[in-house]
Amino acid sequence: MSHETALIATIGVGIALALFLGLLATRLRLPPLVGYLLAGVAIGPFTPGFVGDAGLAGQLAEIGVILLMFGVGIHFSVADLLSVRRIALPGAVVQIAVATILGAVASRLWGWSFGSGIVFGLCLSVASTVVLLRALEDRRMVESIDGKIAVGWLIVEDLATVVVLVLLPALSGLLGGDAPEAADADGTGAAKSILFALGLTFAKVGAFVALTFVVGRRAVPWLLQRVANTGSRELFTLAVLAVALGIAAGAAALFGVSFALGAFFAGMVVNGSPLSHAAARDSLPLQDAFAVLFFVAVGMLFDPTILLEHPVEVLTVVLIVVVGKAVAALVIVLAFGYPVRTAFTISASLAQIGEFSFILAALARTHGLLPAEGQSLIVAAALLSISLNPVAFRFSDWAGEWIMARPRLVALLERAGAGGSTSPSAGRASLRDHVILVGFGRVGGAVGAALERQKIPFVVVEESRGRAEEARKQHHPPIVYGDATRRDVLDEAGVARASMLIVTVPDPFHARTVVENAYAANAAISTVVRTHSESERAYLESHGVGLALVGEKELAIGLAHHAILVMGGTEEDADAAVDAIRSTPRPHQPARAREEAPS
């Protein structure tokens, strides 16, 4: 293939094959990403037929990582990141240590050196950005407290990877690899090199963060506003891409920060602009396309013969990633007093590896710290763990529900303080015939304001401590901090005496569990749940929810009602149109086709 057509051929064949195999996987009731990975295997150098350019595919995949992290950063604020630091920072560090130890022990049993084992374990400890975010987005959990913990955890892992990438060349001699040129007989040169590299890395990261938030907070919103004032959507889309790709590339070139981390901070800068939602909307189609190329690029690296030549080693590595890392994360999250459901969500989201592992493995190979077999095992573990990640999430849902149905086991696993409230219980104890409002974000806050205006008593149950504290400071009605799927949290909100339960969080599985527990305590309670599609509405109502409102349909009803009245129709005409809309099922739309909506 000529150099001039390599890019076009790799994109064209990769996307077309990913579409075909993704559709086939869906027909077989498998996640589409399995098809994307197999498309990569099919056009990779280890299978016959067309061979794509792995280097170009890797760079295209990196664009997908940048756009995905940029999109997540748009929905995050500094306060969101700081709110999960107490669990994300120690949790990520401990989990990295556990995975590193497991990988090192396994490699020692295979006869590898101590240094190779440490590096191999580090490669198994870092989760893939794309896989984690796609899983959270598909479940509409990016803006939930579980999603924020997972993203915060990911950011810590990213920072740890940056440090390891800087220190690995300086430590290669001590770990049994190729000694750096600065090393001397007594090791003082190596020690100085390590300290200098570490200090320079922290200084660069600090300078990047400071520059991003001091200058970027002012410059980027100003730029987006000026471009938006031109009225050109094309220019606005270009401005969004320029910010995302420009800051990410600048962060990597000037400050030694990864593309993903640079893009995440770029998104957080855009978060301060009133045009942030428009920016997220315009970048979403490109995120999807380039994210598919990421999975294709991973598949291209996979050599199927590793399954035949080293089946035991492959199985061991996959177990470390899928089971070892998941169990470690589960124990850590529970130890910090978080709910069982949160612990299972975090453990499933981290039970895979990806792009950061490849980068570490490639660097280790260049310094003689990792055998060729080790790099092949890492690629195999990545492909298999990514394919199994949807299964891990389904298992976490099942296990969470199974445990939540057993209060004694819940009490054993969760610390006593996990479901505490942020306001005195005296006010709640006197409430009767009140409303329990689960979730106090934009939707929940608007509902709460309406209830306050009508002087209807209500109690808020909020899983985010930041939101709960903010609501308490604003002197809102009683706030219960905790996971509403826990029966003791609902009991604290007075579910047995309540007249209505309103669930505003955008997670149908979460809503179903909340409603089931509410009915168990109060069979007469009226329930209303927010959802995003007709399929979710049908699912929730089939599991006992009294009324499930589809957000987009309710918006359509409001628009249609107003339009009919403005155009001269009567109130009866408008009501008839509303009734017709309510009775017409809406075609199901894929979750990824909708913009995320916070609770």
Rounded Cα distance between 376 and 306, Å, is 7
User: Could you state, in chain order, the average pLDDT of each consecutive group of 10 residues for the chain (599 residues)?
Assistant: 71 90 86 85 86 80 78 72 81 92 92 89 86 77 77 83 76 69 53 71 82 82 86 84 86 80 82 71 72 82 86 93 92 84 88 82 82 86 88 87 77 57 48 87 82 87 72 70 77 88 80 84 87 72 76 76 84 81 54 39
Are 456 and 464 in contact by the 8 Å Cβ rule? The answer is no
DSSP letter at 476 equals P
N-to-C CA span, the chain: 51
Q: Where are the alpha helices (DSSP H) in 256-371?
A: 259-270, 276-300, 305-309, 311-319, 325-335, 340-349, 355-366
Rounded Cα distance between 243 and 239, Å, is 6
Amino acid at 67: L
Rounded Cα distance between 335 and 154, Å, is 19
Rounded Cα distance between 329 and 322, Å, is 11
Least Cα distance to 340 among 281, 289, 399 occurs for 399
Rounded Cα distance between 446 and 217, Å, is 28
Instruction: Return phi, psi of residue 461, to 5°.
Output: -115, 115
Q: In sequence order, what DSSP letters do the residues of 434-457 get, joined into one string? A: -EEEE--SHHHHHHHHHHHHTT--
Are 293 and 100 in contact by the 8 Å Cβ rule? The answer is no
Sequence-distant (6+) residues with CB within 8 A of 522 are: 495, 496, 497, 498
Q: In sequence order, what DSSP letters do the residues of 492-546 get, joined into one string? A: HTTGGG-SEEEE-SS-HHHHHHHHHHHHHH-TT-EEEEEESSHHHHHHHHHTT-S
Rounded Cα distance between 549 and 229, Å, is 36
Q: Which helix (H) or strand (E) holds 17?
A: helix 3-27
SS3 462: strand
Torsion of CA 162, 167, 173, 175, to 10 degrees: -60
Amino acid at 342: T
| Strand-pair partners of 482 | none
Rounded Cα distance between 586 and 549, Å, is 12
Are 551 and 140 in contact by the 8 Å Cβ rule? The answer is no
Tokens read off for 380: 């195999």
The pTM score is 0.68
CA-based diameter of the chain, in Å? 93
Q: What is the pLDDT of residue 317?
A: 94
Q: In sequence order, what DSSP letters do the residues of 298-314 get, joined into one string? A: HHHT--THHHHH-HHHH
Least Cα distance to 267 among 233, 239, 231, 240 occurs for 240
